[in-house]
Every structure is written in structure tokens, then in C-alpha cells.
Amino acid sequence: MLSFENDYNNGCHPSILSQLAATNDLQTDVYGFDHFSASAKQRIRQACECPDANVFFLGGGTQTNATVIDSILQSYQGVVAAETAHIATHESGAIEFGGHKVITLPQHEGKISATELRELLAGFYADDAHEHIVFPGMVYITFPTEYGTLYSASELIAIESVCKEYQLPLFVDGARLGYGLTSPASDITLPFLAHHCDVFYIGGTKVGALCGEAVVFTHGNAHPHFFSIIKQHGALFAKGRLIGIQFDTLFTDNLYLRIAHHANQLAVQLKQILTNKGFKTFIDSPTNQQFFILPNDVMETLSQHIVFSRWAPFDAQSTVCRFVTSWSTTEADLQFLENCLNDIV
Amino acid sequence: MLSFENDYNNGCHPSILSQLAATNDLQTDVYGFDHFSASAKQRIRQACECPDANVFFLGGGTQTNATVIDSILQSYQGVVAAETAHIATHESGAIEFGGHKVITLPQHEGKISATELRELLAGFYADDAHEHIVFPGMVYITFPTEYGTLYSASELIAIESVCKEYQLPLFVDGARLGYGLTSPASDITLPFLAHHCDVFYIGGTKVGALCGEAVVFTHGNAHPHFFSIIKQHGALFAKGRLIGIQFDTLFTDNLYLRIAHHANQLAVQLKQILTNKGFKTFIDSPTNQQFFILPNDVMETLSQHIVFSRWAPFDAQSTVCRFVTSWSTTEADLQFLENCLNDIV
Amino acid sequence: MLSFENDYNNGCHPSILSQLAATNDLQTDVYGFDHFSASAKQRIRQACECPDANVFFLGGGTQTNATVIDSILQSYQGVVAAETAHIATHESGAIEFGGHKVITLPQHEGKISATELRELLAGFYADDAHEHIVFPGMVYITFPTEYGTLYSASELIAIESVCKEYQLPLFVDGARLGYGLTSPASDITLPFLAHHCDVFYIGGTKVGALCGEAVVFTHGNAHPHFFSIIKQHGALFAKGRLIGIQFDTLFTDNLYLRIAHHANQLAVQLKQILTNKGFKTFIDSPTNQQFFILPNDVMETLSQHIVFSRWAPFDAQSTVCRFVTSWSTTEADLQFLENCLNDIV
Amino acid sequence: MLSFENDYNNGCHPSILSQLAATNDLQTDVYGFDHFSASAKQRIRQACECPDANVFFLGGGTQTNATVIDSILQSYQGVVAAETAHIATHESGAIEFGGHKVITLPQHEGKISATELRELLAGFYADDAHEHIVFPGMVYITFPTEYGTLYSASELIAIESVCKEYQLPLFVDGARLGYGLTSPASDITLPFLAHHCDVFYIGGTKVGALCGEAVVFTHGNAHPHFFSIIKQHGALFAKGRLIGIQFDTLFTDNLYLRIAHHANQLAVQLKQILTNKGFKTFIDSPTNQQFFILPNDVMETLSQHIVFSRWAPFDAQSTVCRFVTSWSTTEADLQFLENCLNDIV
């Protein structure tokens, strides 16, 4: 059944598959020291305009978040994040498993506010008992957020500014980074992002790869033994080439951004189809995740033809539903969705 | 340069690549709930003759060891293993990161002895102060061992017997399982192994896959929330199909054992070539890892033509070197090795 | 300078000191196996009317919370608590250090509501993705709360009922338990509390001891190796008699409740003195902690004569201040406070 | 029954008790900020001749070891210690609970050798795969050792020298420090020890206190947030004065060393009594722990009159037994022991 459930229910972009096949018979160094990984890292440094960046490849998002955060925080420190942040909600306690608290801030369409961040930090240091409290040790944001929304350039700079004021590293979870960078609503480019944070990751799994995320410590600021910390987290791939080849492909001929741009464009059309039918967005997302409020009877009937997520109840009669596009979504898929809706409404 | 450095310096077996390509356009469920993973699990249960087994797919060996061990042990317990066990030596402290001690026993060609295991356990419980000591909570062995050696069926049963006596789960790390099962020296089959331990894993990464290990809790004895424990360890693949498809292929038409059999056969030839030249084995391995003592000048000259591992110094004039075969090793590779040696010696 | 800063800025109740002196020359068993500890445990079981209770002595509150919680939770579980709970705020991340998330509920005068607890749990299990979320594994409440307030018997039973429905152990932090049990506003007795929770602790440090808390697993439900878990947490006293003697004394002739009753009575007088001067309570506490809103100029002047806590800013002109009574507070102390206020206001 | 079982089966030295009584009615600051603790720290800095030392008070040995080690090591590092070290054997895995491996060296009468330490470290860095291995991050020794033996000044300097070569902090566990410093066999003084290590602790519990150990970071090198790390470990005493007063007393008029000297002197007499009876020492300890090989029938009969430890079986007919003296041991106690032996042998 056709699925808009998420952006990782498919295989990889065909170019990646081709490249895996083309290189399969070669022998390479292992643990990420192969020349494909080296090439991919160099392409990423160039795309980020960060010649001194340290780049590492890991397998998935939760693993990346836990490994990066554990490498930065000291034991008595926690990570500041939105209450809706992936690390605060959907990682089965991976951050706490590493010994750290997720210190939450209110979310505003999935985002934290620089003002509230400053208040939290000022309040912490003003508290006479703060040596008894978990220290804020870094700040984590998602771009795009879990709701598909985006920080603007000025919002990012405002957060960066607070981080610098309190000497806290800023970490950007880019599990869906491409969709943020190529959104028409975005004024943030990859070099801009890299310039205004300390570490971020370029999500591969949800942007056309089989697996893999590229962590970028933007100014040579990776922990000197980050490799061992990766290994300790069980996150080191013996055949590191598997991820290296994928990112080498994604960062050749702009494939990474082209994949994301395609999905965003189809998301705009998808939004139009649903809006035309009179449905309201739950949140106005400018990226490849679209959140619509559907009457429950429509949702149930549509579910017989198409797969999508039931995000949360909206009220007694309706539900917030999520529709996601990806590299593999086609115009025909949207036509099928529209036809289904025409039959229902 | 031709490499015998290890069994994961190549791509995957061509059949796996074909199957990844053939299925790439399909949409599936995620997080391992896809039908390829379901099929692979069923094939594995059948191959193990364990209809009630719980099967899970993880990305790599260290990750698998840490996740399985953490799911079994309580906080005050440790895992008993040989002093040369992978978990004791080459996992960057992943077990300790999970809060557990690796309690070591002496190694005998990489193996523990049932007698010494029983002595350890009897001594522990005889100690009046044992409530101040880390409790042995499970036993870990590798098959084949880090030295390529194998437990015999009777040795396995003897260890199992001690484990049952002390009610300790027995976990077998099968990172190179296939090479053990198909060794002419082995009297252990997959169903036999599954019958005589509580949990083991079938190594994919080192036996022809791009990545992935299949954990088998042999009698439905997985932790009821092992899925969440996987997620907490950052070990859950969003596109779980990536590993599911690989194991589905490996367990179709006996591919897994055929790959291992091929490598073992070439290892026998490789051993013959080196022996013919007058070199001695450091340890008599019946599997795909061969350890030879090479004079340092031979080692240096050979290194200019072929890649292999320098395992450890043997004496002032010679070094233990490791040569490894895999699915991708060919007779031509061995011929090349022989020619090189002919030129040197 | 006279201090109302807290209830642990003094030595121990004189009866404890006498008993420490009287027993000092005796040799005893160590690690809590001495006969004073045995006697104290028996007295506590009797006072709780829990003949099957497991009783253990630990050194302080944070240590006790961390050890008890770690002994109950599995790795993928967290502890549910009020957002103002001590474990959520003032323990430097001791719970996260043990690998567990504190899952917070809103606080109402420091208390959680059974209704909101049920909503949290129902919502968790209704969520299709809950296997990706930290599981609620136990519930933690404080009695009295961090604000000095008290659960009523019916509130406690309502929470217990939700816990039983979801099979979650209920843990009551009684760092100031005596002040709750002897408050005129309380309808909860020690046996009632013990009957309606799974584990609680009787705070010694803040109720007249030099150090020490008595953990009571009410129905023989301690982890079978809780002793080793204590040791692992560095919480085992070599001279266990130090705490055993103190609790043996506290539970002889009702000393524990008499100490608390004394402090509560003086807290009522203290509240009257401040109220008579026209100051408002920030929260209406029926126990030995009193929270008053003082104009900042009054606060500053009073601070020159008396020590008390500045809890939090109330508004631009006034501050919430905390005054605490204890076993050592005297009527003369209150008279001095009143005189100071007379001079100021 | 008279006991030589250990040095913590009694109360505290009478001077400590007097001082606790004399100060009981005073109000002080809490959490170790009281003036008794300040005075004790100053006395300790003077006794160590370390004016810049950071001094902290904790409750017990395991707690101190875990807190100090966790404050120094990074996640991928372990602590090097003798295979018989307390942290490797009798702390219920407290170090692993904090995420760290104890990397063991062979023991020689309880001690490590500087030569073997250097070999371990050189071997580690020479290993191409060392980034996959737990990094040695600090060195831990005990003074006296678990066998009552002592490092000489030159042995200590040799170990210090290796540590400096590899930039590893040297930590000395002084749970029984006094007995080492005052042994006639020792050429190490407190200032000498402090000068040749980075951090050590002065054991109180086993040298006359009710509880408490004094950690000394010898050159102002404590973690800047060691206070929070103590709190996170549940190791912070609310009534910090309890330990402060004890150490203030122990470091007044040389009490600490006088207690230890007394116990050592009686240990010499005890050794003479047993030797006169023809029993052999298992190890030649120059401190307050004496290890003798007793025939099993003697051991059983003597056990009816006197308490001592059965350390380990020696052979089928005899057992290693431990006799310990302390501040509270008297000449009359030794006379009683001698009389008992006269009746038996």
C-alpha cells in the first residue's frame, strides 16, 4: 500500500545503490579509514566551507546524538533542549543511559527561544544552590524540528549568541537537514549553519541513504579521542566504507540537496491537495513533513488506501495526521492521494 | 594492494547486493518490522531448529555484545569471559560503559575451561565477603575465538553444564560463526550450538554482509523489552530492512555456510602455502584466520606486495602475522601470495 | 548568629549523643550487622506494623534515593516525580548518573495529582511509539514535600491505586517524614504510610540524627541483593553501628516523633509571629518549613540578625523566604525572632 | 567476644567523641562549609605541607574511590591497579558502575611494580589498535596495601616517574594511611607522600573515626566542580560538620598518627606472640594487619574465644588468618590472646 508514513520506509537513492555496486569488489581500509570516507569527508568540509572541520560517520540518529553528547558533557552536566526534542522524547533514554539529564525548555512550534534559554542559564547561575543542580553543559536544537519547522537565521544567531555568552557548545541535530536547507522558507545555508554552531550532523538515513549520519565538528573541535568514544558506544562500523560511499555519493553533484528539494516540492503539492479539500494544517511546516487535522471518519477511510501517521488526537472528532515525502515520492503518488480524497470527500 | 588483513575489507557478497537492488523500490515497515526481516528471522529459527527463538538484528559486534549483556545483567553483576575475549580487550570499554565488569578467566588458545569456570564460581560463593564482590551474572565465549580456535561439542557441553549448575545464561559471540560451523575440525552445528546456549549471535559483517549481526535468544528468553534496550543503545536501524534483506539472503540456499566454507577452504590452502615455505603456525587455527610466525625480514618484504596484520612480536627476529580469507578471496589471490613468497624465500 | 536556615545546621539530639557515648567502647559486627542495627530495624518494623519489612540504613537522602531507585528500575525505565521533586532538581543528576530519566509531572503545592499520573500512564501506553520512549517504572513522591505540604490519606490512596493499576512501585521520600506524621494537618500515620506504599525512607539527618536514613521495603520486597547495590553505590558504612545506634535511639520512647512534634509546634508559633507582623505565607505549610513573602528591605535588615533562606524572588519588591525549625529550636529563639521583627517593622 | 577481626568494629577514639559532644549545640553552615571543616582542611594542608591542596571530606572508602576516579577519568579511560586492589576486588563494581574499567597489573605482596606499569603503558601505545582498547587514564595504589605491606620511598618515586612520563595522575588510597606512615618499616612521611602523588586520601574510618575520609588533591588540582560530583555520587553530607569535627580532632596534637602508632606497636607484640607459638606469617606485614598461617584445628579452637578473619585457605590443613589491631586494642587484649594460645598449643 502506498505510504506517506515517513521518509525512511524505502531503499536508498538509486545513485547510491549504483555506487555501492560499482565499488563492491574493491578492498579498502576498515573502520572508516577507507578512501571513500576520506573523499566524502573532504566533500563535506568543502560544502560546509569549514576546512578545519572534523567529520565522522555514524549509523543512525539516536546513536549520533548519544555519542556526540557524551563526548562533550562532563558527568555533572546536562544538555538543554526543547521539551519536544527527539533526545527528550523518542530515544528510549539514550542520553540518560550515558548519565546525563535532558534539561527541557518550552517549545514553540518545536523550537526553543533564545530569550528563554538565557533566562534558564541566568537563573541557574543566580541560584545559590546551583552546585546541587545539573549544570547546563551544551544546547541541542533540531533543524528542521520534529514538527518540520525551521529556525530562521536570526533565531539561530540569537541562540548562538546566548551559547557563546555562557560558553556552551551548540549542537544541531540535522536528521532531516536537507529538507531544512532547501525549504523555500529557509534563509539558512549549509555554510551558514556550520558557521553558527559547534557541531551538527547531516542526516543520511532520512535523506536518501540506507543508513548513516555525518557528524561535523565545525572548527576542529572534536574530542581528541572521539574515535574511541564511537567504538565504546558500539557505533563504529567495521566496513566504514558503507557510509563513506553513501555520503561520497550524496555530496557529489549536489545529490543531497537535490533529493531534499524534490521531497520539499512534492510536500508543497501534497499540502495543496489537502488544503484544497478543506483540511487545516495543525502546524504550518515548510518542509517534507506535513501535519493536517483530519476528521476521524476521513482518516479511517483514507487509511484503507494509504499509509500515514496518526500523530496525536486533536479533539473528539479529529486527529492530527502526518504525511511525509521523500526521494522516492512521485507525482503519481500525489495523484493517487488526490484521487482517494476525491472519492472520500 | 591485495589484502589478507581481515574479512571485512571488502563489500558484500554479490547475492546480497543483487537483493538490495531488487528490493530497493519497495516501501516497507520500518525499525525491523518489514517483511524481509520477518522472513529472515523465520529462516534463522528454522536453521537453528529453534521455533521459539527471539531473533533481532543489530549493526555490529561491539554493539551487539553491549546490548545483549546489558539486557541480561543486573547492576551488581558482571560477565565472565576469557582474558583475551573481545569484550575484555577490543571494545573500548563498551561493557564497562554499561556499568558492568568483565570478570576474566585464563585463556587456553583463546578458550576458557569449564573446570576453571567452576572453580571461579565455587570460589565466589564460598567467599564470606562475596556480597562485596561483583557477582558473576553470565558467561561469554567466542566461537570461533579471537585466535580462530574452536570449542569442541564436549567442551561446549561442559561449559553449559557449569552455567546451568549456577543458573548463569551462556552467551556465544559468533562474529565469525560461519567459519566455526563449517570448519572440518568442528563437531558443532548451528542447531547444536543453539541447543546448548541461551543466546548467541550470527555474525554478518565478517561473513559477507555489509553490516549486521543476528542475535538469537534460543528459547524465547529475550528481555521482554529488548527492542527498547536496542533503541536506548542507539542500535536500532530506521531502515531495518537493510539488515533484514541481508540475512534473508544469507539464509537462503545456505549462502551463509557456503561463504564460510569457501573461506575456510582457501585458508587451508593458504596455510599449506606458508607451511610449504617452512613457516610455523603460532596457533593451529582450523578457521579462516591463520597465525604464522614470520622472520621480520620476510615480513617486511612481503608487506611491500601484500597487506596482512602484524599481530604481536614473537621474538627479536620474528613476528606473529595474521592472514585472513573471506568470501572474496580467490585462488588467484593465493597464487599471487605464493609467487610473492617464491620471490622472497 | 541564630539560624532558621534549615533543620540540619545543628548537631544531633542529646539522647543520640548519649547513646553513642555509652556504646563507644563495645566491639560489634560491621557493615550493619551489629546488634544495634538489628534492634533498630526491629523497632522500625514494629512502629510501621510491617513485620515482613526489609530495613536498611544509608547515610543521606540523595544517596538513598539513587540507591533505591537504581535497585528497582530496569535500564529502559524512568521514575515519575513532580517537577519540583528533590530528585528532579537538587541531586546534581544522581538519578541520571544511574542511567535513569526523571519523568516529571506538574506540581500542585509540591504534590502530584493521581489524575495527572493516570493520564500520563494511559497516554504512554496508548502511544504507538511508546517502545521508543522511556518507560515509567516507578512513582516517587515526597512526604512532606519540598514545600512542606502534605498528601492527605485519600490523596495517597488515590496515587497508590493508580500505581497498582499499572503495577508500578510507589516510593515515598521521607527525608522529613517525622514532620509530616506529627503535623496536626496530617491524617497519615506511620503504619498507614507503610501500608500504602512499597518502599519509603525515614529521614534521620533532618530529624535529629547526625546522619542516616532508614529505608523500609514494606513487604519484604527489597531487591535480593540490595546489600551489594548499596556497596556498589559507595553507600555502605563500615561502622554501620553509627546509624544503627541513632535509629535505635530515635525509635525508643517515641523520640523520633517527639522531635518532629516539637519542631512543628514551634513552627506554628513562628508562623503566628510572622503573620502577626502582617506578612503573608507564600504557601500554607503545616510542617516545620515556613515560607513567607518578605519585603526586600525587611529581609535585608532581618538578615543582619538572623539566618534564613532566600527561596526565590516573589516580585520586584519582595522575596519568598524560608524559616525552618528543628529539635534544637527553642522558645527563646522565637522570642529573639519576634524582638528583631519588632525592631524592624 | 574479643575481636581482632578488623579496625572498624569499635566506636571512635574518645577525643573525637568528646569533641562531637562539646560542639553539639552549635549551629553551623552545612554541606561541609562549617568552620570545623575549614579548620580541619587547614590542619591537613599544614600536615601535608601542601598549602595549595584541595581537601574534601567523604564518608567511606568505596565512595571516595569511586568519586575521585570518576572525577578524573574520561569515559574512554580506565584506572590501572593491582589485581588485588580494593577497587578491583571488594567494591561491588563501584568503578564499573561509574563506567570505567579497572585495568589490572600483577601484584607483588599487594604492590604493583613500576617496571610492569611502564611495560603496560608502552605496550598500550605501541599497539596499532589501541584506539579500540580502554585507555589507561590514571594509576591507583594503596598505602598500606590490602596485605598490610608498604611501598618504599624509592618504589613510590619510581611509580610516580612512570606516571609523569605518561602524564597519568597517581592516586593513593590511604584507607589505613596512618598505619603506613607510622610503621617502623616506612620511609614515607605524609609530606613526602603528598609531594609524590596527585591525589590521596587519609582514611578516618579505619583509624579512629566513626566515619569519614579526607581527600587531598595535592596541588590545587581537584576538578573545578568536584563538589557537584560528590553530590551526584550521593556522597555529600548535609551535616558536613560530622566529618569536619572528626578530622579537626584527628589532626590536633598529632592524634591521627598517635592512634596508628599505638596500633602498630600492639601489632608488633601480636606478631611476636604468634611467632613465639611457632606460627608462620603468610606475608610479612609491618602494619596493623597481621596474616598468619594457622593449623585448622588451632583456628577452630581459638575461634571459640576470639574473633579474627579467615582470609583464605593455605593448604588442606591450614588457613591464612588475619588479626588486626586498632586504637582500641589494649595490652590486656594481647594478654588474653596469649593466654588462649597457651591453652591451645
DSSP-assigned states of every residue in C78-90: EEEEETT-HHHHS
Please state, in angstroms and rounded to a whole number, the distance separating the CA atoms of residues D241 and D21: 12
**pLDDT tens-digit profile, chain A (345 residues):** 999 999 999 999 999 999 999 999 999 999 999 999 999 999 999 999 999 999 999 999 999 999 999 999 999 999 999 999 999 999 999 999 999 999 999 999 999 999 999 999 999 999 999 999 999 999 999 999 999 999 999 999 999 999 999 999 999 999 999 999 999 999 999 999 999 999 999 999 999 999 999 999 999 999 999 999 999 999 999 999 999 999 999 999 999 999 999 999 999 999 999 999 999 999 999 999 999 999 999 999 999 999 999 999 999 999 999 999 999 999 999 999 999 999 998
Name residue A78's beta-bridge partners.
A136
The DSSP bridge pattern shows strands B135-142 and B170-174 to be: parallel
Residue B47 predicted with pLDDT over 90: yes
- The beta-carbon neighbor of A232 closest among D75, D225, D228 is D75
Among C64, C91, C8, C47, which Cα is nearest to C233's? C64
CA dist C277 and C280 (Å) reads 9
Q: Nearest Cβ partner of B205 from A23, A234, A239?
A: A239
- Could you tell me which residues come within 8 angstroms of residue C147 by beta carbon, excluding any fewer than 6 positions away? C84, C109, C110, C283, C285, C289, C291
Could you tell me what percentage of chain C is helix, strand and coil, using 3-state DSSP and rounding each to the nearest 5? 40, 20, 40
Chains touching chain A through at least 3 C-beta pairs below 8 angstroms are: B, C, D
Q: What are the backbone dihedrals phi and psi of residue B234, each rounded to the nearest 5 degrees, phi first?
A: 65, 25
Report cis status (omega within 30 of 0) of the bond before D224.
no
Q: Is C345's pLDDT higher than 90?
A: no
Contact check, Cβ <8 Å, D232/A75? yes
State the SS3 of C139-169.
Answer: EEEECCCCCCCCCCHHHHHHHHHHHHHCCCC
Chain A residues touching chain D at CB-CB below 8 Å: 70-71, 74-76, 99, 131-132, 135, 225, 227-229, 231-232
CA distance A301 to C95: 46
Q: Which residue of B has its CA nearest to A66?
A: B234
Write out the DSSP string of C237-294: -TTTHHHHHHHHHHTSTTHHHHHHHHHHHHHHHHHHHHHHTTPEEEE---SSEEEEEE
CB hemisphere CA count around B215 (13 angstroms):
28
Give the DSSP H/E element, type plus range, for residue D200.
Answer: strand D199-203
SS3 of A134-196: CEEEEEEEECCCCCCCCCCHHHHHHHHHHHHHCCCCEEEEECCHHHHHCCCCCCCCHHHHHHC
Complex ipTM, two decimals? Answer: 0.97
Query: Whole-angstrom Cα distance, residue B233 to residue A66?
Result: 9
Q: Do D132 and B91 touch (CB under 8 A)?
A: yes
pLDDT of residue C30 exceeding 90, the answer is yes
Q: How far is B132 from chain D (nearest CA, A)?
A: 5
d(CA A199, CA A140): 10
From chain A, pick out residues whose CB is under 8 angstroms from the CB of D70. 75
Cβ–Cβ < 8 Å for D39, D225: no
State the average pLDDT over residues B282-287.
97
Query: Between chains, do A99 and C99 touch, taking CB under 8 Å as contact?
Result: yes
Q: Write out the three cell numbers for A9.
A: 520506509
**Interface mutation target, options B75, B128, B132, B229, chain C, most CBs of C under 10 Å:** B75
Give the count of Cβ contacts less than 8 A between chain B and D: 55
Q: How far is residue C150 from each of residues A322, B111, C174, C293, measured CA to CA in Å?
A: 44, 60, 11, 20
Rounded to a whole number, what is the distance in Å from the CA of A159 to chain D's nearest CA? 26
C-alpha cell at C43: 523497632
CB D276 within 8 A of CB D270: no
Query: What mean pLDDT is reported for chain C?
Result: 97
Element (H, E) at B87: helix B86-89
Grid cell digits, residue D281: 606469617
Contacts of B76 in chain C (CB under 8 A): 225, 228-229, 232
Best mutation target among C75, C236, C305, C329 (most D Cβ atoms within 10 Å) is C236
Cα dihedral value C13, C16, C17, C18, nearest 10: 120
Q: Would you call C30 and D241 a contact, using CB atoms and an 8 Å cutoff?
A: no
C-alpha cell read off for C232 = 556498589
Q: Is the preceding peptide bond at C286 cis, omega within 30 degrees of 0?
A: no
Q: Which chains sit next to C, with 3 or more Cβ pairs under 8 A? A: A, B, D
Question: Residue A262 corresponds to which amino acid?
Answer: H
Over its C-alpha atoms, chain A yields an Rg (Å, rounded) of: 21
CB–CB of D11 and C17 under 8 A? no
Residues in chain A with CB shorter than 8 Å from the CB of B92 are 228-229, 231-232
How confident is the model at residue D78, as a pLDDT? 98
Q: State the Cα–Cα distance between residues B112 and B145, nearest whole angstrom.
A: 10
Mean pLDDT of chain B: 97
- Taken in order of first residue, the domains within chain D and their CATH numbers are 14-255 (3.40.640.10), 259-344 (3.90.1150.10)
Chain segment B113-165, per-residue pLDDT in tens: 999 999 999 999 999 999 999 999 999 999 999 999 999 999 999 999 999 99
H/E segment holding residue D264 = helix D255-276
* All cell numbers assigned to B319: 613476528
Q: Which amino acid belongs to residue A140? A: Y
Q: Give the residue carrying C-alpha cell 548463569.
A: B168
Against chain D, the chains showing at least 3 CB pairs within 8 Å are A, B, C
Of A91, A93, A131, the CB nearest to C78: A93
Count of A–B CB contacts within 8 Å?
Answer: 156
- Give the cell for residue A153: 537565521
- The DSSP line for B150-164 is ---HHHHHHHHHHHH
Name residues whose C-beta falls within 8 Å of residue D103's C-beta, 6 or more positions apart in sequence: D78, D79, D80, D81, D120, D134, D136
pLDDT confidence of residue B345:
84
User: What is the rounded average pLDDT of the residues B261-274?
Assistant: 98
Indicate the residue of D97, D101, D129 with minimum beta-carbon distance to B93: D101
CB A97 within 8 A of CB B233: yes
Amino acid at the residue C173: D
Of B80, B96, B105, B120, which to mutate for an interface test with D (greatest number of D Cβ within 10 Å)? Answer: B96
Across the interface, do C229 and B76 touch by the CB < 8 Å criterion?
A: yes
What grid cell was written down for D100? 570505567
Q: What percent of chain C has pLDDT over 90?
A: 100
- Cell 501534497 locates to A270
Distance between CA A145 and CA C111 in Å, rounded? Answer: 33
The Cα B91–Cα C179 span in angstroms is 51
Please give the average per-residue pLDDT across C24-32, as a whole number: 97
The whole-number average pLDDT for the span C148-177 is 98
**B102-105/B77-82 β-pairing:** parallel
Which of C70, C75, C228 lies nearest to residue B131, judging by beta carbons? C228
Contact across the interface for C90 and A310, Cβ inside 8 Å = no
Whether residue A93 and residue C102 make contact (CB cut-off 8 A), yes or no, is: no
The answer to whether the Cβ–Cβ distance between A27 and B2 falls below 8 Å is: yes
Q: What is the C-alpha separation between B201 and B44, in angstroms, rounded? A: 11
Per-residue model confidence (pLDDT) at position A345: 84
State the smallest CA–CA distance between residue A87 and chain B in angstroms. 11
Query: What is the distance between the alpha carbons of residues C38 and D13, in angstroms, rounded to a whole number?
Result: 24
Write the pLDDT tens digit of every residue in C65-102.
999 999 999 999 999 999 999 999 999 999 999 999 99
Which DSSP string do the residues of B185-199 spell out, in sequence order?
Answer: T----HHHHHHT-SE
DSSP string, D134-170: PEEEEEEEESS-TTS----HHHHHHHHHHHHHTT--E
Mutate which of C76, C101, C226, C233 to test chain B, going by most B C-beta atoms within 10 A?
C76
Q: Scanning the structure block, which residue is given the C-alpha cell 488515590?
A: C158
Query: How far is A76 from chain D, CA to nearest CA, in Å?
Result: 6
Mean pLDDT of B30-49: 98
Instruction: Report the C-alpha gap between B306 and C99 in whole angstroms.
Output: 47
> Number of residue pairs across A and D with CB atoms under 8 Å?
35
Cβ distance of B90 and D128 shorter than 8 Å: no
β-strand partners of B77: B135
pLDDT average, residue stretch C18-46: 98
CA distances from A8 to A57, A242, A326, C9, D87 (A): 18, 17, 8, 59, 47
User: CA B316 to CA D187: how far, in whole Å?
Assistant: 40
Q: Return the exposure string of A17-36: e unless at least 16 CB atoms fall within 10 Å of the residue's CB, then b.
A: bebbeebbeebbbbbbebeb
User: How many CA atoms within 13 Å lie on the side-chain side of C66?
Assistant: 31
Judging contacts by C-beta atoms under 8 Å, the chain C residues touching residue A310 are: 128
Q: How far is the CA of B241 from the CAs of A267, B232, B280, D52, in angstroms?
A: 25, 20, 45, 60
Q: What is the pLDDT along chain D (345 residues), one digit of tens a residue?
A: 999 999 999 999 999 999 999 999 999 999 999 999 999 999 999 999 999 999 999 999 999 999 999 999 999 999 999 999 999 999 999 999 999 999 999 999 999 999 999 999 999 999 999 999 999 999 999 999 999 999 999 999 999 999 999 999 999 999 999 999 999 999 999 999 999 999 999 999 999 999 999 999 999 999 999 999 999 999 999 999 999 999 999 999 999 999 999 999 999 999 999 999 999 999 999 999 999 999 999 999 999 999 999 999 999 999 999 999 999 999 999 999 999 999 998
- Residue D69: which of B69, A95, C96, B96 has the closest Cα? B96
